[in-house]
């Protein structure tokens, strides 16, 4: 997920307009001054519900990162952008799990701050990719050529195609399961099918009672827009049940803070409630007035009809989860739209065959 990305920059808008502009537009919009009015004043932006204290991540000091143990020699590290990575110190070197570019060189600084006092080696020998998204592994290139990079087979296929020097292709790949043993430690990697991305993996630390799965459950937050801009919604919906089958106390989600089993269950409940509400909306919102209002304009009919479905789906869910999950009033409508479309098009809910 790319929560730090800006939607449409002034530059890309200008580029788009440059491609499509009619000549007369140039006389209407003087160069350089045309788009200043696009940026709203902060006082014009909408209000949202306050963030519950339990949903907040740790305070970030002047060093720019926060690092703390999860259990014994397994640590987590986060930054002001709210990205989360993890690392395991061993007698033979460090195993790093994800390398968010927002942390970049702070990853090694965080590792040094832990390993140097303990006398354990600080060199990263292995780097595990949770999935191919650049916002979680884009600092991989900083660790040079001598690191063993591990990921899913699909991660290798996608990264080979992208040819991004920030994200070197994994050296070791697996299809279903891989047991990583380094310096007397054990980590179990598993693939349970596509969900957030086609290559998202579960990373289980059996001796640390921790489970890492990135960009699916954001502890004590609703998902980011469009269900964390996920690729496989059917797979995504099934993930909490799969996660809860693992033995763990700490959930490493890739964002904001560490989570608990209860927070994974709460995410599952939010998704169940969103699904039930979407089904009720599909069952009860009548398409007729939209078709009557915009005869012949198929997009106007579907736009307004789906806007009504989203509003009907989101309203009770926002009411139930405001104060329970942060951002419920911010992204539930976006999440509702994606879930409604998955229900209709993938699950076939509400679709009848003409006799
Ligand atoms: Zn992602």
Q: What CATH number is associated with residue 178?
A: 3.60.15.10
| 234, 260, 286 - which closes a domain | 260
- Domain with 291, as residue range(s), is 271-346
Mean pLDDT of 200-213: 98
- Token pair for 32: 């350089």
Give me ligand 1 centre to Cα 305, in Å: 30
* Model pLDDT for residues 135-169, shown as the tens digit of each residue: 999 999 999 999 999 999 999 999 999 999 999 99
DSSP letter for each residue of 211-260: EE--SS--TTBPPSHHHHH-S-HHHHHHHHHHHHTS--SEEE-SBSSEE-
Using DSSP's 3-state secondary structure scheme, residue 267 falls into: helix
Using the predicted structure, report yes or no on whether residue 352 has a pLDDT greater than 90.
no
User: What is the pTM (predicted TM-score) of this model?
Assistant: 0.88
Distance 2 CA to ligand 1 centre (A): 7
Calculate how far, in angstroms, residue 104's C-alpha sits from the geometric centre of ligand 1: 17
Q: Would you give the DSSP letter of residue 36?
A: G
Cβ contact 125:182 at 8 Å: yes
Kindly state whether residue 48 falls inside one of the protein's structural domains. no
Is 57 contained in some domain?
Answer: yes
Token representation of residue 232: 């496989």
* Closest C-alpha to 253, from 60, 1, 58, 61: 1
- Residue 174 half-sphere exposure toward CB, CA atoms < 13 A: 20
Ligand 1 centroid distance, CA of 172 (Å): 21
Å from CA of 212 to ligand 1 middle: 13
Q: Does residue 227 lie within any of the structural domains?
A: yes
The answer to whether position 97 is within a domain reads yes
Q: What is the pLDDT of residues 247-258, one digit of tens each?
A: 999 999 999 999
Q: Quick one: what percent of the chain has pLDDT higher than 70?
A: 90
Query: Based on the number of CB atoms within 10 Å of its own CB, is 115 exposed (0-12), middle (13-18) or buried (19 or more)?
Result: buried
Which range among 9-13, 101-105, 199-203, 323-327 shows the weakest confidence by mean pLDDT? 9-13
Which of 260, 289, 316 is the C-terminal boundary of a domain? 260
CA of 71 to the centre of ligand 1 (A): 25
| Domain annotation covers residue 205 | yes
- Alpha-carbon distance of 11 to 217, in angstroms, equals 33
């Amino acid at each position: 997920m790319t929560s730090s990305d800006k939607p449409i920059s002034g530059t890309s808008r200008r580029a788009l307009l440059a491609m499509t502009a009619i000549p007369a537009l140039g006389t209407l919009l003087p160069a350089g001054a045309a788009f200043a009015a696009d940026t709203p004043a902060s006082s014009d932006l909408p209000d949202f519900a306050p963030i519950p204290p339990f949903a907040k991540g740790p305070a970030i000091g002047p060093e720019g990162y926060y690092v703390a143990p999860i259990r014994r020699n397994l640590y987590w590290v986060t930054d002001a952008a709210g990205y989360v990575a993890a690392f395991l110190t061993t007698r033979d070197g460090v195993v790093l799990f994800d390398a968010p570019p927002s942390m970049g060189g702070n990853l090694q600084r965080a590792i040094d701050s832990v390993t140097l006092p303990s006398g354990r080696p600080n060199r990263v020998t292995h780097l595990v990719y949770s999935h191919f998204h650049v916002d979680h592994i884009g600092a991989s290139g900083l660790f040079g050529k001598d690191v063993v990079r591990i990921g899913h087979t699909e991660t290798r296929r996608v990264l080979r195609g992208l040819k991004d020097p920030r994200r070197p292709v994994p050296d070791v790949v697996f299809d279903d399961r891989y047991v990583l043993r380094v310096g007397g430690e054990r980590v179990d990697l598993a693939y349970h099918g596509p969900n957030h991305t086609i290559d998202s993996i579960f990373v289980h630390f059996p001796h640390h009672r921790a489970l890492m799965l990135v960009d699916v459950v954001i502890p004590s937050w609703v998902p980011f827009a469009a269900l964390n801009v996920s690729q496989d919604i059917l797979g995504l919906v099934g993930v909490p049940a799969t996660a809860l089958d693992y033995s763990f106390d700490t959930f490493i989600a890739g964002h904001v803070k560490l989570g608990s089993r209860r927070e994974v269950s709460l995410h599952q409940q939010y998704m169940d409630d969103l699904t039930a509400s979407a089904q009720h909306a599909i069952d009860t919102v009548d398409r007729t007035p939209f078709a009557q209002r915009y005869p012949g304009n198929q997009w106007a009919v579907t736009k307004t009809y789906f806007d009504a479905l989203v509003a009907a789906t989101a309203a009770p869910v926002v009411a139930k989860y405001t104060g329970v999950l942060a951002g419920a009033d911010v992204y539930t409508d976006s999440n509702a739209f994606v879930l409604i479309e998955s229900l209709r098009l993938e699950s076939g809910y509400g679709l009848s065959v003409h006799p």
